[in-house]
Amino acid sequence: MIVAASTYCFRQLPLSEALSRLVDLEYSAVEIALDESGVQLQPSAVLANLDEAIDRCRDTHRLDIVAYDVQIAAQGPAYYEQFAAICRLAKATKVVTLVVPSGELGTPFNEEVEHLRRLVDLATLQGTRVSIKTQSGRISEDPDTLTVLCDNVKGLGVTLDPSHFVCGPQRGKNMDKLTRYVHHVHLRDSTKDKLQVRIGQGEVEYGRLIGQLRRFNYDRALSAHLDELPDVDHLGEMRKMRLLLESLL
């Protein structure tokens, strides 16, 4: 397994500065956020100038890119045009995993299946894979529903964020059934009433999770996905997460 960190951890910084921070913290791999509402690299910008986006993502200060975390604001045909451009970006930068959110709660199941099948088809053309992230407030918050989605969309994987099964409406629900679908992992520490707390003060069982993943021969990334907390040394938390995960590997 590979210890990585998302550029979301420094979402207020331009992409180049976020990458520099991760190098300073001695991370060796990165997950790059492609977020239309962010300041780093927007999906619309990838479509508008693919060559420039490729150049920016290749300049990673020697960090290996393990995934792109895709947040597209566009709807309809424009959504799929931007996603197709991101697939071409991934192929050019030798990235396999594309992390996407599921539909919001209330989205018809068949509609979500058709949407995800279309994404998987676009990704497959470029040799990439779609990985849907577990997230409260969305279809993917329920492990049972997510399992059925993966069974109905051939090639779909899961980005497992265990915090949403510690905190939120599905807390305490068994997520073991998802392990065989996992393509990527997001990590922070959480309690029943707070999605993120300081590392070591929450209830995420990192060792148990890694043990489960090993049983399914998972050899991909464990990606730190930390927001800044008030009155907490963010760089210290990022360093602590890296050291913790490296010690468990």
The pLDDT value given to residue 168: 80
Number of domains in the chain: 1
Q: Which of 39-43, 170-174, 215-219, 235-239 has the lowest mean pLDDT?
A: 170-174
Q: Does the pLDDT of residue 19 top 90, yes or no?
A: yes
**CATH value at residue 66:** 3.20.20.150
Does the structure show a pLDDT above 80 at 97?
yes
> What's the domain range around 226?
2-248
From the list 243, 238, 171, 191, the residue with the least C-alpha distance to 10 is 238
Sign, CA dihedral 166-168-172-174, equals negative
SS3 at position 137: coil
CA pseudo-torsion sign 131, 66, 242, 24: negative
Q: What is the pLDDT of residue 65?
A: 97
Place 36 in a pLDDT band, splitting at 50, 70 and 90.
very high
pLDDT bracket for residue 39 (50, 70, 90): very high
Residue 175 pLDDT more than 90? no
Q: How far apart, in whole angstroms, are the C-alpha atoms of residue 156 and residue 119?
A: 9
93: pLDDT strictly greater than 90: yes
Q: What is the 3-state secondary structure (H, E, C) of 2-24?
A: EEEEEHHHHCCCCHHHHHHHHHH
Q: Give the 3-state secondary structure of residue 167.
A: coil
Q: How far apart are CA 64 and CA 61, in angstroms?
A: 9
Q: How confident is the model at residue 173 (pLDDT cuts 50, 70, 90)?
A: confident
Q: Which long-range contacts (CB under 8 A, 24 or more apart) does 45-53 make?
A: 46/82, 46/85, 46/86, 46/89, 47/81, 47/82, 47/85, 50/85, 50/88, 50/89, 50/92, 53/85, 53/89
Side chain identity at residue 205, one-letter code: E
Model confidence at 177, in pLDDT bands (50, 70, 90)?
A: confident
169 pLDDT band, cuts 50/70/90, is confident
Distance CA 71, CA 33 (A): 8
Residue-averaged pLDDT of the chain: 95
At residue 172, does pLDDT exceed 80?
no
Evaluate if residue 114 carries a pLDDT over 80: yes
- Answer yes or no: is pLDDT of 227 > 80: yes
Cβ distance 171 to 192 under 8 Å?
A: yes
Residues 169-176, mean pLDDT to the nearest whole number = 81
